[in-house]
Amino acid sequence: MKRLNAVAALLAGLLATKTVDAKPNILLVIADDAGVDVSRCYQLGEQQALMPTLEHLCETGVVFDNAYSAPVCSPTRATIMTGRYGFRTGIGAPIPKRGGTGLSSDETSLFDLLNTTDYASALIGKWHLASAVTDLGHPADLGVNEYFGMMSGSVPDYFDWQANDNGTTVEVSQYSTTALTDRSIDWINSQQSPWFLWLAYNAPHTPFHLPPKSLHSFDELSGSVADIKANPLPYFQAALESLDTEMGRLLSSLPEDVRENTMVVFIGDNGTPGQVARHLYGDKGAKGSIYEGGTRIPFVVSGPGVDAGRSDALVNTSDLYATIASLAGASSSAADSINMVPVLHGEPGGRRHAYVELFGNNRRGPDKAGWAIRDKQFKLVTEKDQPAKLFDLSADPLETTDLLPNGNDAVQRKAAELLQAATALKQ
């Protein structure tokens, strides 16, 4: 309980929501493989981790109830980097560690936009937008001036891993969540101008493991391979708690005036892994699925000028591109990115439709290619070699009942309307 009390004590001074005149600092925190079911801010299922720092952000910020990502990591990160869906960038599945095609450096990246402003910027943490072996210069090719982190989709060992440090491979023998936080604190402390930091934790992605005891509350876990395999959920939760502890440490390290002028954005990059979430979503699947379990994510924004509360606006990870650019005073014209700043200030906004997709060589089991599109109430799902399905998410949020097999004319019209919207999107 000492760890929990310490975190609670830190929260009192974090992230006041008053409006300030200075340009805001922007901190984007990505949790790897964290769907809405991991957070008490959403109360879906019974497996939420204890994350007081995130819960405080939810209390002081905007919690988006209808936020969507791609169902796997590389496509989501590409949408944030470019403001464009995967069918435009070619990134529709996880990029393999060796070979594969990475995100083209011809794209106008979010960092390219920020480089036109007075913002300092950095990306620390998981990249997964190119080969981890041959493309060590890929972050720089996309306008990232400062990069440190893991290039591939995961690390074999959280305590012993390789990092790309601005194009040079280095060995790291420190718990990765802590190492990335330390690097972030050091970078922020060296800044004299407004800054943007994309902090991409690799937690709680596999391998499931036992984090350092000081970072979480699961004192009874053995950490044995057999125990982790038999019951991975508490280890997954311990990794989330540890992420939350370190995120709290980062925020508490900021001087008060910097904290008050920092916009914090927290998201997951896709749904929770099936090993710890499949019981909730059933045969619809979790991570890797274009259903809700794979694509609905936590999305929270807290900071200066934010009108705290919950928003039912539809939002996609691609919208971070235009939103962050707007906060930094840059202009963007990405095809699939909506500026959500008005929503942060309590004004109407958001998108008419949210769209998700999965395509390409997933290299992991059967081909789950497909796409889905939703409006405020209904969602159309089209999987490869399967008939389309329509769900009423307002009445059936876990997508248990397909309306199309016995649907009336109104149901058929709604499916046709959503199909037309997706077709228009791709033109």
Task: Pull the structure tokens for residue 350.
Answer: 């958001």
Note the pLDDT of residue 325.
98
Question: How many beta carbons lie within 10 A of that of residue 191, not counting itself?
Answer: 16
Contact 372, 379 (CB under 8 A): yes
Backbone angles phi, psi at 357, to 5 degrees: -155, 160
**Residue 260 reports pLDDT greater than 80:** yes
pTM of the model as a whole: 0.93
- Ordered alpha helix ranges (H), 151-301: 176-189, 225-230, 233-253, 256-260, 274-281, 292-295
- The secondary structure of 16-71, three-state, reads CCCCCCCCCEEEEEEECCCCHHHCCCCCCCCCCCCCHHHHHHHHHCEEEEEEECCC
**Residue 3 reports pLDDT greater than 70:** no
Note the pLDDT of residue 95.
92
| 2-9+25-362 CATH fold | Alkaline Phosphatase, subunit A (3.40.720)
Q: Which pLDDT tens digit goes with each residue over 300-341?
A: 999 999 999 999 999 999 999 999 999 999 989 899 999 999
**Residue 412 host element (H or E):** helix 409-425
Peptide bond into 94 cis (omega under 30): no
**Residue 304 host element (H or E):** none
Note the pLDDT of residue 45.
82
Query: What mean pLDDT, rounded, does the chain reach?
Result: 92
DSSP assignment letter at 338: -
Note the pLDDT of residue 4.
47
Domain ranges across the chain: 2-9+25-362, 375-427
pLDDT: which is higher, 201 or 2: 201
Rounded to whole angstroms, the Cα distance separating 51 from 54 reads 6
Note the pLDDT of residue 100.
80
Task: Pull the structure tokens for residue 337.
Answer: 């990115």
**Residue 380 host element (H or E):** strand 378-383
Q: Which pLDDT tens digit goes with each residue over 139-159?
A: 999 999 999 999 999 999 999
Note the pLDDT of residue 6.
47
Note the pLDDT of residue 177.
98
Rounded to whole angstroms, the Cα distance separating 352 from 376 reads 8
Rounded to whole angstroms, the Cα distance separating 401 from 389 reads 9
The sheet that has 168-172: what strands, in order across it? 168-172, 161-165, 147-149, 120-125, 195-200, 25-31, 262-268, 299-302, 62-68, 309-316
Note the pLDDT of residue 364.
52
pLDDT category of residue 366 using cuts at 50, 70 and 90? low
